[in-house]
Amino acid sequence: MSVIESTEQFAPAGSWSADPVHSSVTFEVEYAGGGTFRGGFREFTAVLSGSSLSGTAQVASVDVKDEQLNGHLQSPDFFDAARYPEIAFRASEIHRHEDGSVHAAGELTLKGVTKPVELSGRIGSPQVDPFGREKLGLTLTTTVDRNDFGISWNAPNQSGGNYLGDEVTLTADLIFVKQEA
């Protein structure tokens, strides 16, 4: 039986900020009847402090390795960056199991719509890097229906069905650095 730590014991004491060089915030969605389309955000923040986890991603930093498609993803068809420049997440409940697995409940705000989400993942043990900084790894994943957030653009696939799937997997693979008091 796994022991659940209270959210106050989720992370070691102190404030932890995501290291953007060693972290990523990504998404993936099925497309073209079976492939997986992947992208991410170059600019994001995440802060972990005891029982609190929050983060944001800048929509203008979406990166799918195609400038034209980056522009389309920022249009009202998708993220609508002009009206909704930021995607936000805040955890309301985080549980760490003794095997390092994590389950969290929170809220995701995307395109002006806030919905509850359930996440799962893993957390590591604090480590000290060669420069004396204390670091902590955390990976969280959830799947959402993009239509719930008003992102419903699609096109018919010539072999039937829609070109884009509705389910989008979001992953935050974060390396936190303990902040100086």
**CATH 2.40.110.10: does it fit domain 4-178?**
no
Tens-place pLDDT, residues 120-145: 999 998 999 999 999 999 999 999 99
Task: Kindly report, residue by residue over 18-72, the tens digit of the pLDDT.
Answer: 999 999 999 999 988 789 999 999 999 999 987 789 999 999 999 998 889 999 9
Q: What residues does each domain of the chain span?
A: 4-178
CA angle 108, 49, 81 (to 5 degrees): 30
Give the span between the Cα atoms of 34 and 10, in whole angstroms. Answer: 38
Q: Are 62 and 151 in contact (CB under 8 A)?
A: no
CA terminus-to-terminus distance, the chain: 36
pLDDT band at 3 (very low <50, low <70, confident <90, very high): very low
Residue 5: pLDDT above 50?
no
Query: Residue 9: which pLDDT band, with cuts at 50, 70 and 90?
Result: low
Distance CA 45, CA 163 (A): 31
Q: What digits encode the pLDDT tens for the residues 70-117?
A: 999 999 999 999 999 999 999 978 888 888 899 999 999 999 999 999
Beta bridge partners of 27: 39, 170
- Whether residue 28 contacts residue 169, with contact meaning beta carbons closer than 8 Å, is answered with yes
Residues 59 and 86 sit within 8 Å (Cβ to Cβ): yes
Question: Among 52, 87, 53, 173, which residue's Cα sits nearest to residue 122?
Answer: 173
Residue 102 to residue 124: CA distance in whole angstroms = 10
